[in-house]
Structure 1
């Protein structure tokens, strides 16, 4: 079918998702009707025209499986915003703005191309292996062919009421994405967004579609302006260190595009997935986002990774860094794509590994303006690049 072995990685309200080394398959419970497939193909063609300029995860192929079920093939992104928040809590305000800007940019580009998402939620805001946030699952054709039985906390009231899926219902979904990113909770569970974003989130989540912003481009402009203001971050309580239990498999938050070699064999890592103000596809009128400065840990902010403790199937990592930094761990295996794992304010992490495989690890940190990197550490004789 694709030449990859696939494992179950997620089950949604309708479809089941399987992941391979590089590809993902979203499998529906039966064959889609021919008219739905034709409509889905038109949506896919429209999105193909913007795939290189907007932060979307396009569908690369529509497959008919041997048992007749319809499946969508796309690049594997193994971490969603919902999973990230569930594991690490709400995002820093600037990170939430950056993710929200990526989502709004993707939605605005799709709307201009004539495609409605129809089910926007934190579960289809994914993080690309590069670290950049992308939006998956665009299109209403297959949603109408395989309707969900129960609305989610991110379903617009009009969609739940009569099945309406349009540009205004996508705005409601965008409000739900921002609400979760900023508060750690879906809109139905309360939580107060910070003042600088509360009005925008409230408008996006307005029950009456007429009370929401007029277009997704308006939201893009508002989030771009907020990002440029660099609002002060409120004090945050240090969460307790993570001392046991596996961490999510995932890649990252927002990527900076800074690439550094880690394994001598040639693997590369993407610096801090959650760097503030990633380079996103934004309208030409928007000012380009600044990129944080990357510096060695010896130059300014001390950051030291302790020797990894190898337990065979997992490795315990710990590091030393200043208070107030946000951390991520880069994991590079000898023949795998490197992964970036969010640690937030924690200074320990347990990483699942394969027995006998060589690994290099590096810790990266940011205070929002400066990025620092520890010296890499190896297990099992891996040759790491500094």
Structure 2
């Protein structure tokens, strides 16, 4: 069952009428992002076409989402056109033009300059200088170091201070709303400009949901303090590669929102204590506990970026400044468990299981006395064949040799289970995934590929080695995003069967069996984030490619 926001007259309350539904864990239909019944919105832009923009030629879509970003030529110079894909009425257009004019008056090195603004054919738009990509694109390939993060944070905080000083609220700050100039300088872009309630900028299932302040998710409040929360979330993503409270596997949009409203984010242990504490303050649930202003945040980050003997400026006013005495180190809080494939026993493996090698016990010194009853006594006979690995890979192997220091017959220390190693990868899943569906597809693969095989019982013998069943080599190419559909293609053997995994934020993953095809077209909702992967099997081996994102999605296999 889907949660549908219909009949909403005020964007100030996207969840006001559905708190009980969210508490029940209901999801949101992806199309709701563009089908809200609002008297201010009369139409939406076409999927790939842009309205006629005055003075712009050679218009090409470069980034879908809200707003859509087009590259164009303006007076012979490359420019970026940001088009908000909703047709607005006269009163909303007047309000947009007022804020756009105020934005044009902001001259700051870390705020994208607006060359022109207006409403073309009913669609609001901004024209700015051409950028060289976004912070979201950079994060996918390279994370920031603590020193670089302090510089980035100071620059963005200074840009926010300039906007707030002009009476503007960004309202949609995400890594995708931070554009990078050719010299690497970051600039704030893609402001809501009062259109958030019409475009779904801060709505459920929108890309900005992962960076929206709790009060905005709760009742639509947009303030300077909510911008500071978004700044903390962006810095968190720039150092860790994921937002503070990324969606978990199988989690609906409603369940995710409940965590954002109630669960504190994990502390960034890679940062120095003062830096981690500053980001934790920015991510406070209560706006009153966040820093007072963007100027204060910029000053604190400047002190972090430039080591000095002077104390870091206080982020919030304090009634007393007691000297911090050295105290015994407090053990860090345990990390929250990550729900990923490595920790789900029922998730099918994506590579052929590696048979446990038969081990020969090392020569041991004869024991002078019987070993204490700490484990099963060692036998002098041949080592029995290793038992098949149990689901989840937990528990010591009976064929594992004891440590060299342990006496013969002593209990051997079990190795750490692979599931723990999976947890330590510190990977979070933005998109939902369906364990049951994936398992069913793997089973279907096996049935399809085993058609025609005889039912000859297997001949008893030693377990085949991995060399006799080479792993499948399949590579998923970067998806081609066309706003309303995405074209997928991949390379791999021609004699195996394939399936496409389609994951949309807040929804269970869908799996499409495509047999031996190596191309597939997926119909998608404009502006919604997706992740894609390809599964393959020859009836014996099976594998899954690394996921590929579109629209700044963050994916984990």
Q: Same fold (TM over 0.5)?
A: yes
Are 2:157 and 1:104 equivalent residues in the alignment? yes
Matches within 5 A, 1:209-248: 209-229=287-307
Deviation at 1:30, TM superposition (A): 2.7
- For residue 26 of structure 1, what is the aligned residue in structure 2? 82
Of the candidates 78, 82, 89, which is equivalent to residue 136 of structure 2?
82
Change (3 A) 1:182 1:208: same
Q: Is the 8 A contact 1:33 1:145 kept in 2?
A: no
Report how many aligned residue pairs link the two structures. Answer: 230
Provide, for residues 73-122 of structure 1, a one-character-per-residue CA deviation record: whole Å limited to 9, x for no partner.
2212131111100122x111121111111100000111111111111111
Equivalent residue number for residue 56 of structure 1: 111
Aligned mate of 1:128, from 173, 181, 187: 181
C-alpha separation in 1, matches of 2:292 and 2:182: 33
TM-score, normalised to structure 2, is 0.39
Which of 38, 44, 47 is 2:103 aligned to? 47
Structure 1 residue 35, shift from structure 2 partner: 2.4
Q: Retained in 1: the 8 A contact 2:150–2:301?
A: yes
Which string of whole-angstrom CA distances, capped at 9 and with x for unpartnered residues, describes residues 288-341 of structure 1?
xxxxxxxxxxxxxxxxxxxxxxxxxxxxxxxxxxxxxxxxxxxxxxxxxxxxxx
- 1:50–1:108 CA distance, 2 compared to 1 (3 A): same
Q: In the alignment, which residue of structure 2 is the partner of 1:169?
A: 226
User: Which protein shows a greater Rg?
Assistant: 2
- Structure 2: distance between partners of 1:124 and 1:230: 32
Does the 8 Å CA contact 2:267/2:280 hold for their aligned counterparts? Answer: no
For structure 2, list consecutive stretches of 5 or more residues without a partner in the other structure: 1-53, 247-265, 310-476, 479-557
Equivalent residues in 2 for 1:1-386 (5 A)?
Answer: 1-12=54-65, 14-20=66-72, 22-51=78-107, 53-65=108-120, 68-88=122-142, 90-148=143-201, 149-150=203-204, 152-189=209-246, 192=268, 193-195=270-272, 196-229=274-307
Q: Deviations over 1:53-77 (max 9, x none)?
A: 34101332224445x4332222121
SS of aligned partner of 2:88: coil
Structure 1 unaligned blocks of 5 or more: 232-244, 247-386
Aligned CA-pair RMSD: 2.4
- Which SS does the other structure have where 2:285 is aligned? coil
CA distance, structure 2, for counterparts of residue 228 and residue 63 of structure 1? 41
- Measure the CA separation in 2 of the matches of 1:50 and 1:184: 31
Return the alpha-carbon distance in structure 1 between the equivalents of residues 281 and 109 of structure 2: 24
TM-score, normalized by length of structure 1?
A: 0.55
Inter-partner Cα distance in structure 1 for 2:308 and 2:189: 28
- Provide the rounded CA distance (Å) in 2 between the counterparts of 1:119 and 1:78: 20
* Secondary structure at the counterpart of residue 71 of structure 1: strand
CA contact (8 A) 1:56 1:134 kept: yes
Q: CA deviation at 1:139?
A: 4.5
On the 8 A contact 1:54/1:109 being kept in 2, the answer is no
Cα distance in 2 for partners of 1:64, 1:213 equals 36
Distance between the aligned counterparts of 2:188 and 2:69, measured in 1? Answer: 16
Partner SS for 2:292? coil
Moved over 3 A (4+): 63-66
Q: CA deviation at 1:17?
A: 1.6
**Relative to total residues, which structure has the larger strand share, 1 or 2?**
1
The structural deviation recorded for 1:191 is 6.8
Deviation string for 1:173-207 (max 9, x for gaps)?
11011111121211114572512411000000011
Q: Is the 8 A contact 1:44 1:58 kept in 2?
A: no
